[in-house]
Structure 1
Amino acid sequence: MRIFITGASGWIGTAVTQEVLAAGHEVTGLARNDDSFARLQAAGVTPHRGSLDDLDSMRDAAAASDGVIHLAFKHDFSDMAGAGATERATIQMFGDTLAGSDRPFLFASGVAGLAPGRVVTEDDEVPFGGPDSPRGGAEQLALSFASRGIRPVALRFAPTVHGQGDHGFTSVISGVAQEKGVSGYVGDGSNRWPAVNRADAAKLVALALENAPAGSRVHAVGEEGVSALEIATALGDALGVPTRSIAPDAAAEHFGWIGMFFALDIPASSAKTQASLDWTPTNPGLIDDIESGYYGTK
């Protein structure tokens, strides 16, 4: 198949692209600038110039493809409403373009925030929808395309997709620890974060492209829940700084914008995904990667 991938040059997209190519497919990747264009070309991908703000360009690439993997997202925490509106418009465009074709449409989503305090499973529906919801209500909208002759699949990623070169949440928390001189956790640190190694997540996406049924939700989760205390302790050991509890009412001041996320208890299971797609996470876990020095060393 010829697969169009948005976010193909990003952290997760780079690994996904290599897995899709290794499975024997051709890949066209969205390139928003010259650097992305060159990196995609070097990786054996056909670059397609455009951006999330250029629906016409993406529409052309989707129409010429045998399937779409949509991984790009505007991670602008200063304008989440705008990012959600862009996401919803993009999802709607892909749905209109692929309608009636039975082509696969895989799109990035997440497990965070679906049911704080208990283990989220693939059976849990997103509790919010509509244009004013997080991510513009994209998951509900995209999964509804199953009735339009499309094979939509929600790729629910763990909030921490880790590995060497990661610049996401764990990297930000490490940066705070280095700046403050203390590796903090909120309260007693018992709250849990699911995590997945980038290589395992990429393998799952390639499997879902070929085998996940229409309307399914797959969980890219390698570890159900790593406690904030474990994460902070591992970072403190790696960085050579003390580990300390941060009071909940001081979390925002200490951690900045990421404090509200790091305090959440959001475990998630991937048992049904593993069984249905014969997927077994085999790469190092989050604590192993922290201990390997991927998030800073003494």
Structure 2
Amino acid sequence: MRIFITGGTGFIGHYVARELLESNHEVVILTRHPDKIPALANHSKVTILVGTIYDAATISKGLVGCDACIHIALGWGETPLSMLENDTRATVLILQAASKAGCKKFIYTSSTAAMGKFRSVMNENVINLPVDLYGATKAAGEAYVLGFRGTSMKRNIIRPGYTFGNPAFGENGVTQPDRRFALMAQAVVNGGDIHLIRNDGTQFISAADQAKLFKRVLDSDYNEEIYLGLSRNWISWHDIANRMLELYEKLTRKKSSAKIVEQDLGWSDHPMLFSVEKIAATFGLSFDASAEMDKHIEWQLKSTIANS
């Protein structure tokens, strides 16, 4: 299968690309940074297409001969109108171009942020109630993907939760754009305060596991389905900080002077969870992030120590 990927040199994207290449697929990657990941740029089954998610002509050209399109790249803006223009409009452009090019399958990368306000049940069937512009534009993208029914192209949606991980190709690649792990490691190494919110955490998922979900959805014949991409287990930021402090002592044989400083916002000791029953029932996927979390903490800490 020949697969067009937007954001293929980004964090989740380069893991998805690796997963597909390991299954012997051909990949066309739309990217602004063609030399960002040499392992992809030099791969015999990768075609690098230089451009942005706003370049209609480049996208249409790249989609020729592709069997599927996976849209991962994110457009950003600081106002409602700029978010609409930079992300939602780009999603619609790519969706329409993929259909016109004859793609059989389309996967849209949304986010759990599209769901927004937490309720007692958080599964794929709840109504989206976004609480910020990011969630709103992802919910809007979902609506266009599901509402675009004048096509034979199968369209599905994945909503990743907090996705973490080391670079996909050894040191060749990128890690998550969120800086909380890096800032925590810096505090541990330099003896600063680790600022947390009491009972803050989530169902972290490794990028490698997230990529497995993308491939399963791609390989399936499902249409107009939504899947939550998270692990089954909830991990707190407090636990991550403790793991990092303990590992620092093992690695350096000295105790960090860093302190955990928690702000109490009245969050419950019993975390509210997203349901991951659908990916388990549909694909037999059930992820536990603990082992990969330990690897990521070690990588983050060693990188910080080396650069200090």
CA–CA distance in structure 2, aligned partners of residues 67 and 155 of structure 1: 15
CA–CA distance in structure 2, aligned partners of residues 82 and 156 of structure 1: 22
- Listed one character per residue, the Cα deviations across residues 210-237 of structure 1 (whole Å, up to 9, x for unaligned) are 1151111122212442223323333444
Contact 1:155–1:217 (Cα < 8 Å) also in 2: yes
Matching of residues 283-294 of structure 1 within 5 Å: 284-285=290-291, 287-294=293-300
Query: Secondary structure at the residue paired with 2:74?
Result: coil
Cα distance, 1:195 vs structure 2: 1.0
Query: Secondary structure at the residue paired with 1:43?
Result: coil
Matching of residues 218-229 of structure 1 within 5 Å: 218-229=227-238
Change (3 A) 1:237 1:32: same
Contact 1:174–1:183 (Cα < 8 Å) also in 2: yes
Contact 2:279–2:286 (Cα < 8 Å) also in 1: no
Contact 2:185–2:300 (Cα < 8 Å) also in 1: no
- Counterpart for residue 126 of structure 2: 124
Contact 1:192–1:267 (Cα < 8 Å) also in 2: no
CA–CA distance in structure 2, aligned partners of residues 180 and 82 of structure 1: 40
Change (3 A) 1:123 1:61: same
- Counterpart for residue 268 of structure 1: 274
CA–CA distance in structure 2, aligned partners of residues 234 and 41 of structure 1: 36
CA–CA distance in structure 2, aligned partners of residues 27 and 172 of structure 1: 31
In the alignment, does 2:67 pair up with 1:66? yes
In the alignment, does 2:166 pair up with 1:155? no
- Name stretches of at least 5 consecutive residues in structure 1 with no aligned partner: 250-264
Code of the residue aligned with 1:116 in structure 2: it is F
Contact 1:194–1:267 (Cα < 8 Å) also in 2: yes
The worse-fitting range, judged by mean Cα deviation, of 97-106 and 208-217 is 97-106
Contact 1:9–1:36 (Cα < 8 Å) also in 2: yes
Code of the residue aligned with 2:203 in structure 1: it is P
Cα distance, 1:125 vs structure 2: 4.0
Change (3 A) 1:135 1:185: same
- Listed one character per residue, the Cα deviations across residues 210-265 of structure 1 (whole Å, up to 9, x for unaligned) are 1151111122212442223323333444453221212549xxxxxxxxxxxxxxx7
- Counterpart for residue 140 of structure 1: 143
Cα distance, 1:90 vs structure 2: 1.8
Code of the residue aligned with 2:195 in structure 1: it is G
- Counterpart for residue 202 of structure 2: 193
Query: Secondary structure at the residue paired with 1:154?
Result: strand
Query: Secondary structure at the residue paired with 1:155?
Result: strand
- Listed one character per residue, the Cα deviations across residues 91-143 of structure 1 (whole Å, up to 9, x for unaligned) are 211232233746111111111353425452222343359x9933471112112
Higher Rg of the two aligned structures = 2
The worse-fitting range, judged by mean Cα deviation, of 148-157 and 114-123 is 114-123
User: Given the two structures, how large is their TM-score scaled by the length of structure 1?
Assistant: 0.79
Aligned-residue sequence identity (percent) comes to: 19
Code of the residue aligned with 1:104 in structure 2: it is K
Change (3 A) 1:20 1:289: same
Query: Secondary structure at the residue paired with 1:98?
Result: helix
Matching of residues 57-136 of structure 1 within 5 Å: 57-74=58-75, 78=78, 82-99=82-99, 101=102, 103-112=104-113, 114-116=116-118, 118=120, 120-127=122-129, 133-135=136-138
Aligned residue pair count: 279
CA–CA distance in structure 2, aligned partners of residues 81 and 138 of structure 1: 14
- Counterpart for residue 256 of structure 1: none
CA–CA distance in structure 2, aligned partners of residues 191 and 209 of structure 1: 33
Cα distance, 1:154 vs structure 2: 0.9
* Aligned residue among 193, 202, 207 for 2:216: 207
RMSD over equivalenced CA pairs, Å: 3.3
Code of the residue aligned with 1:182 in structure 2: it is D
Change (3 A) 1:247 1:173: farther
In the alignment, does 2:184 pair up with 1:174? yes
Cα distance, 1:185 vs structure 2: 1.6
Code of the residue aligned with 1:108 in structure 2: it is T
User: Given the two structures, how large is their TM-score scaled by the length of structure 2?
Assistant: 0.76
Cα distance, 1:191 vs structure 2: 3.5
In the alignment, does 2:63 pair up with 1:46? no
Change (3 A) 1:38 1:233: closer
CA–CA distance in structure 2, aligned partners of residues 173 and 83 of structure 1: 28
CA–CA distance in structure 2, aligned partners of residues 28 and 67 of structure 1: 10
- Counterpart for residue 4 of structure 1: 4
Query: Secondary structure at the residue paired with 1:21?
Result: helix
Cα distance, 1:283 vs structure 2: 6.3
The worse-fitting range, judged by mean Cα deviation, of 233-242 and 60-69 is 233-242
